[in-house]
A and B are shown apart, each in its own frame.
Chain A
Amino acid sequence: MTVKIAVRGLEKAFGPKRVLQGVDLDVPEKQSTVIIGGSGTGKSVLLKCIIGLITPDGGSIRIDGREMVGASDDERRAVQGRIGMLFQGAALFDSLPVWENVAFGLLAEKRLGRHEAREEAVRVMRSVGLAADVADRYPAETSGGMQKRIGLARAIATKPEIIFFDEPTTGLDPIMADVINDLVRACVRDLGATAVSISHDMASVRKIADRVALIHEGRIRWEGPASSIDASGNAYVDQFIHGRAEGPIRVGQVA
């Protein structure tokens, strides 16, 4: 197994609040890694550090062996071009119609003209189960489930090597959540992408994860293959998957 992303000793604080306190994580290539953990434990911050949207205070992030912490803007942009991200709130551009959202990366990289980009956008939209007539709507005129799918289509349109999914199924009904799970799986299987997802939803974790990492109080507390989460023998994992209030993760301790 080749390591695509290697995170070592990553630290990030916002004022007095130490969100990441030395995160170590290896993300294997062409597999699906899922990060689990309570709300506000810094899962989104971790992804944003890796993608270069937040500058960490310390530690190291290597993507394909190349150090990203302290890299120049140009180097970082080159790597960002190979990463796609589905944001927690979809983060669609509300001044642009849906198809232009999906085609945004293609247009930005000048790979295609507007006409071909639109056709390609409609094709990608269809692959995530969006009808062509959605293309000319504006994001505000679509439902939450559609917005997730539009965000997903936008993230995969440029066929990135690495895709981040920040809570892809949160806030969706179980059926729509399962549709999104299948799409996430398909990204790894069909596009050969390396996927890193964040999830709270154990059904979703079981479905999309090859590997699972649990983050708590700024550190990774357990990491292992998805098949072994039920027999991990780790108190954090057991508490999380059974959704118990009792255990090492204490509610109110974070925040």
Chain B
Amino acid sequence: MINPFRPVGRGTLGAFETVGAITLFAATGVGRGLRGPWYPRQFLRMLVEIGYYSLPVVGLTAIFTGMVLALQSYTGFSRFEAQSAIPTIVVISMTRELGPVLAGLMVAGRVGASMAAELGTMRVTEQIDALSTLSTDPFRYLVFPRILAGLVCLPFLVLVADIIGVMGGLLVGAYKLGFPAGEWIQSTLDYLQPEDVTSGLVKAGVFGFIITLMGCYQGYNSGRGAQGVGTATTQAVVAASIMILVSNYVVTEIFFSR
């Protein structure tokens, strides 16, 4: 109470402790997972869960983002007769930034939450304990397939988001702004660099790792009872979202400074 720095110090120590615990968790999950035995059924189930069932949400996000991008850049760029840059603006914003970040955030909400809830429930109902008594390592059986699926699915989802986003822009460009569709597509492709897409896909991989890691970490370490699972779910989504935004800057910086 007397020392005002005490809560700050304690908070900082707590934060370091959490970062350490998450790092150890990730290292254990990946390290043991790589050494096998592997569980392809679990992996396939997660591919469907993350990759396939996220398509609607990611697609909807992407198409409206592409549409609004076209509309907004028109409002801005027509002021100095730069309308011809709009298709390029749409595709670059989409592939480099908005595709990965928005898809990442949407998937964090959807998959991160359900993963934390599923593992948290398994923890609370002792299913994770039961795995160990049945000669099965929860890190290999539960954690690794999820992280791997996140790593694979997010780049795929972002690629889909890129394409749909560009199509959304094209829709608005052609039907509302009166661009000839052929010209729009031409200038989209003309100025697009491979790195625009690959940097976005690398981000997506990082986000996929973060989302599934946080979902697993929070669920695996869930507190007791329904309240514990609720807290785990919220924290998985909040932590993953913040880490996505931070790592987004870091990855951009790395690509930018090359």
Chain A positions within 8 Å of B, measured between CB atoms, are 48, 51-53, 77, 80-81, 83-85, 87-89, 91-94, 104-105, 108-109, 154-155, 158
What are the residues of chain B within 8 A of A52 when measuring CB–CB? 132
Distance between A162 CB and nearest chain B CB, rounded to angstroms: 11
A-B interface, 9 closest residue pairs, ranked by CB to CB distance from nearest: A91-B126, A91-B130, A105-B134, A108-B135, A85-B133, A108-B136, A87-B126, A81-B135, A53-B129
Give the CA-CA distance A237 to B137 in the complex, in Å. Answer: 40
Contacts A91-B130, A92-B130 supplied; 16 other A-B pairs, CB < 8 Å = A53-B129, A53-B133, A77-B137, A80-B132, A80-B135, A81-B135, A84-B133, A89-B125, A89-B126, A91-B125, A91-B127, A91-B129, A105-B135, A108-B136, A109-B135, A154-B134
Neighbouring B residues of A88 by C-beta, 8 Å: 126
Which chain B residues border A108 with CB–CB below 8 Å? Answer: 134-136
Complex CA gap A92/B131 in Å reads 10
How far is B135's CA from A81's CA once the two chains are assembled, in angstroms?
A: 6
Alpha-carbon gap, A92 to B122, bound state (A): 9
Which residues of A lie under 8 Å from residue B136 when comparing CB positions? 104, 108
Complex: A89 Cα to B126 Cα, angstroms = 8
Q: Is there an interface contact between B135 and A87, defined as CB atoms closer than 8 Å?
A: no
Q: Is the CB of A93 within 8 A of B132?
A: no
Distance A126 CA – B126 CA, assembled complex (angstroms):
25
Indicate if the CB atoms of A85 and B135 lie closer than 8 Å: no
Q: Which residues of B contact A (CB under 8 A)?
A: 122, 125-127, 129-130, 132-137
Q: Once the chains are docked, how many angstroms separate the CA of A48 from the CA of B130?
A: 11
Do the beta carbons of A77 and B135 come within 8 Å of each other?
A: yes
Contacts of B132 in A (CB 8 A): 51-53, 80
Chosen A-B contacts, 10 in total, with CB atoms closer than 8 Å, are: A77-B137, A81-B135, A85-B130, A87-B126, A91-B125, A91-B126, A92-B127, A104-B136, A108-B134, A109-B135
User: Which residues of B are found within 8 Å of A81, using beta-carbon distances?
Assistant: 135
Residues of A within 8 A of B126 (CB): 87-89, 91
C-alpha spacing A88/B127, complex, angstroms: 11
In the assembled complex, the CB of B50 is this many whole angstroms from the nearest CB of chain A, namely 15
> Are A83 and B135 touching (Cβ within 8 A)?
no
- The minimal Cβ–Cβ distance linking B117 to chain A, given in whole angstroms, is 13
Tell me the smallest distance from the CB of A155 to a CB of chain B, in Å. Answer: 8
For the complex formed, measure the closest distance between the CB of B168 and the CB atoms of chain A, giving whole angstroms.
Answer: 36
- Min CB gap A54→B, angstroms: 9
B129–A48 contact, CB under 8 A?
yes
In the assembled complex, the CB of B111 is this many whole angstroms from the nearest CB of chain A, namely 16
Nearest CB in chain B to that of A157: its residue: B134
Q: Which of B122, B125, B127, B133 lies in contact with A80, CB distance below 8 A?
A: B133
- When C-beta atoms are compared, the residue in chain B nearest to A73 turns out to be B137
Cα separation A105 to B132 with both chains bound (whole Å)? 10
Q: Tell me, in angstroms, the Cα distance from A94 to B127 when the chains sit together.
A: 9
Report Cα–Cα, A155/B130, bound state, in Å: 9
In the complex, chain B residues whose CB is within 8 Å of the CB of A93: 122, 127, 130
Provide the residues of chain B in CB contact with A154, threshold 8 Å. 130, 134
Bound complex: CA of A165 vs CA of B129, how far in Å? 14
Least Cβ–Cβ distance between B254 and chain A, in angstroms: 36
- Select the residue from B126, B129, B130, B132 with max chain A CB neighbours within 10 A: B130
> Could you tell me the distance in whole angstroms from the C-beta of B145 to the nearest C-beta in chain A?
13
Closest CB in chain A relative to B223 CB, distance in Å: 12
Asked whether A87 lies within 8 Å of B134 as measured between CB atoms, the reply is no
CB closest chain-A residue, reference B141: A108
Shortest A50–chain B CB gap in Å is 11
Give the residue name and chain of the A residue nearest to B118 (CB): A95
Contacting pair B133 A51 (CB below 8 A): yes
A89 to B129, CA, bound (A): 12
- Greatest chain B CB density within 10 A among A52, A81, A85, A155 is at A85
How close is B87's CB to chain A, nearest CB, in angstroms?
A: 45
B135: which A residues are within 8 A, CB to CB? Answer: 77, 80-81, 105, 108-109, 158
A28 nearest CB across to chain B (Å): 22
In the complex, the chain A residue whose C-beta lies closest to that of B137 is A77
CA distance A84 to B135 in the complex (A): 10
Residues in A with CB closer than 8 Å to B122 are: 93
User: Within the complex, what minimum Cβ distance (angstroms) separates A171 from chain B?
Assistant: 15
Chain A: CB-nearest residue to B121 = A94
Q: How far is the CA of A88 from the CA of B126 in the complex (A)?
A: 9
Please report the C-alpha to C-alpha distance between residue A84 and residue B134 in the assembled complex, in whole angstroms: 7
Assembled-state Cα–Cα distance A100/B114 (Å): 23
